[in-house]
C-alpha cells in the first residue's frame, strides 16, 4: 500500500469541503500518522484563532464621501444605465468623470479632516482628565488636547482602529495628530503601554528626546521630568530616533534616551548590570577619550546575545574604534561571506546590513523598512514644569 500523506487536504477537511469518502479516508489516515496529525492540529488551531476576528462596522462617513463622489458625476439621475448606450466620446467623458470622482474621493480622505473627532479615552482607575475636564467613564481626546492622570488614575486610549495605549498614573500625553493615516501621540512625562496591530510605521510617539516609531509591536515608554526616557519592547520592534541618531529595538530589548544626546544604544534586558552601566557610560561620553575608555571596558563583557548592541555601536564609532567593535562582534558571531573589516570601517551600508542577518533578529528587510524616511515630528516637546 502506498502511504500518501494528506497535509494538502487538511484545510478542506477542517472546513467540511470534502466528500464523505474523502473525509473518511483522511480521518483514517490521521489516526495512524503522527506527522499529518500534527499538521492537522496546527491548521485547526490557526482556523480557530482566526475566528477571533470580528466584523467591524464601516464608518458612516464613507457613504457621505461616496455620495459626494457620485454627485460629482455629470448625469446624476440615470448615470448607471446611461453609461453603455452612449457614443464613444461620451463614454470617454464618463470614464474621465469617474476617474475625477475617485480622485476627489481619495483627495477628501487624504486631506486632514475637520479635527473634531479625536480618539476615545476610557477611564481605568481614578479620575483622569482631558484638559481640565475629569472623565467619568469615557471621553474624547481631540488633536492638541492633553490627557493627564494623577497618582491614582489610569486611562486607556483607543488609537483610531489600529491599537490601544494605556496611560499610567502621573502621566501627561497629548494627541499630536489624528489625521487620516497618521496616529501620533506626544508624552511629556509618565508611562504608557502601547499595543499596535497595524502594519509598521502607522503609530508615532514624540518624547522630549526621541520619537518612537512603531514597527508592529507592544511596548512601554517612560519619560521623567527631565525629558529622559526608557523604551522597553515586549513584542515586535520599535525604532527610536532623534536628529539623525537612531536605534532599532526588538522584543526583549531596552533603549534609553536623554535630552542632550537622544536615543542611546539598545541592549537586551537580561544583560549584566555592569554591561548596562558601562554602555550608559559610553552613550554619555563627552569626548573620544571617555568613549574609548568605556568601549575598552564594554567589549569584553559582551555576550553573543549582545550582538544587537555591538551592531548598533558600529554606527556610533569610527575608524579604529569601529574596527575593534567589528572584531568583538565577529568573534561572537562570524561575519557572513562578502563582509570585510575594511568595508565595515568604511561604512559600507550593504555590509552593515549583512552583519545584521546572523544576529537572528529578523531579516534585513526590517532594517530597510526602518531606513525609510521618517515623518517629521510635529513639534519637539520642551521639558516644562507642569502647569496643572
Q: Which is nearer to another protein, 182 or 383 (CB)?
A: 182
Q: How far is the CB of 44 from another protein (least distance, A)?
A: 8
Task: Go through the chain and tell me how many residues it has.
Answer: 388
Rg of the chain taking only CA atoms, in angstroms = 27
Number of C-beta neighbours around residue 215 at 10 A: 23
Nearest Cα to Cα of residue 156 among 202, 196, 120, 117: 120
Q: How far is the CB of 68 from another protein (least distance, A)?
A: 10
Distance CA 171, CA 256 (A): 18
Q: Which is nearer to another protein, 3 or 84 (CB)?
A: 84
Task: Let me know: does 253 contact 234? Beta carbons within 8 Å.
Answer: no
Distance CA 176, CA 355 (A): 37
Q: Which is nearer to another protein, 18 or 332 (CB)?
A: 18
Q: How far is the CB of 48 from another protein (least distance, A)?
A: 5
Buried b / exposed e along 120-140 (16+ C-beta atoms within 10 A): ebbbeebebbbeeeebeeebe
Q: Which is nearer to another protein, 23 or 251 (CB)?
A: 251
Q: How far is the CB of 170 from another protein (least distance, A)?
A: 20
Torsion sign, CA atoms 267, 272, 273, 277: negative
Q: How far is the CB of 17 from another protein (least distance, A)?
A: 5
Q: How far is the CB of 363 from another protein (least distance, A)?
A: 6
Q: Which is nearer to another protein, 269 or 346 (CB)?
A: 269
Cell, residue 59: 464608518
Q: Which is nearer to another protein, 77 or 286 (CB)?
A: 77
Distance CA 309, CA 374 (A): 22
SS3 content of the chain, % helix, strand, coil (to 5): 40, 25, 35
Amino acid at each position: 500500500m502506498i502511504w500518501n500523506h494528506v497535509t494538502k487536504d487538511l484545510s478542506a477537511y477542517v472546513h467540511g469541503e470534502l466528500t464523505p469518502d474523502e473525509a473518511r479516508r483522511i480521518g483514517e489516515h490521521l489516526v495512524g500518522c503522527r506527522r499529518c496529525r500534527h499538521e492537522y492540529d496546527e491548521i485547526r488551531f490557526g482556523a480557530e484563532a482566526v475566528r477571533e476576528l470580528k466584523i467591524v462596522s464601516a464608518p458612516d462617513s464613507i457613504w457621505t464621501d461616496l455620495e459626494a463622489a457620485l454627485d460629482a458625476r455629470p448625469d446624476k439621475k440615470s448615470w448607471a444605465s446611461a453609461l453603455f448606450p452612449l457614443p464613444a466620446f461620451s463614454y470617454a467623458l464618463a470614464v474621465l468623470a469617474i476617474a475625477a470622482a475617485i480622485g476627489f474621493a481619495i483627495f477628501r480622505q487624504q486631506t486632514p479632516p475637520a479635527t473634531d473627532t479625536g480618539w476615545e479615552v476610557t477611564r481605568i482607575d481614578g479620575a483622569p482628565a482631558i484638559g481640565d475636564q475629569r472623565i467619568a467613564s469615557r471621553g474624547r481626546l481631540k488633536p492638541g488636547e492633553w490627557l493627564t492622570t494623577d497618582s491614582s488614575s489610569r486611562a486607556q486610549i483607543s488609537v483610531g482602529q489600529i491599537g490601544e495605549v494605556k496611560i499610567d498614573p502621573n502621566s501627561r500625553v497629548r494627541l499630536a495628530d489624528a489625521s487620516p493615516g497618521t496616529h501620533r501621540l506626544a508624552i511629556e512625562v509618565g508611562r504608557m503601554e502601547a499595543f499596535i496591530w497595524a502594519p509598521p510605521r502607522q503609530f508615532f510617539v514624540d518624547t522630549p528626546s526621541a520619537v518612537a516609531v512603531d514597527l508592529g509591536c507592544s511596548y512601554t515608554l517612560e519619560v521623567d521630568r527631565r525629558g529622559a526616557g526608557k523604551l522597553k519592547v515586549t513584542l515586535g520592534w520599535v525604532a527610536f530616533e532623534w536628529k539623525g541618531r537612531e536605534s532599532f529595538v526588538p522584543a526583549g530589548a531596552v533603549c534609553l534616551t536623554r535630552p542632550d544626546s537622544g536615543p542611546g544604544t539598545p541592549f537586551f534586558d537580561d544583560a549584566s548590570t555592569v554591561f548596562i552601566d558601562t554602555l550608559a557610560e559610553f552613550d554619555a561620553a563627552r569626548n573620544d577619550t571617555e568613549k574609548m575608555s568605556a568601549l575598552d571596558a564594554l567589549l569584553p563583557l559582551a555576550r553573543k546575545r549582545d550582538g544587537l548592541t555591538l551592531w548598533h555601536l558600529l554606527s556610533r564609532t569610527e575608524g579604529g574604534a569601529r574596527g575593534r567593535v567589528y572584531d568583538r562582534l565577529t568573534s561572537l558571531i562570524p561575519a557572513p561571506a562578502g563582509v570585510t573589516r575594511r568595508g565595515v570601517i568604511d561604512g559600507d551600508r550593504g555590509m552593515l546590513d549583512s552583519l545584521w542577518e546572523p544576529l537572528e533578529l529578523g531579516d534585513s528587510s526590517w532594517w530597510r523598512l526602518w531606513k525609510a524616511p521618517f515623518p517629521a515630528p510635529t513639534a519637539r516637546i520642551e521639558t516644562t514644569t507642569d502647569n496643572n
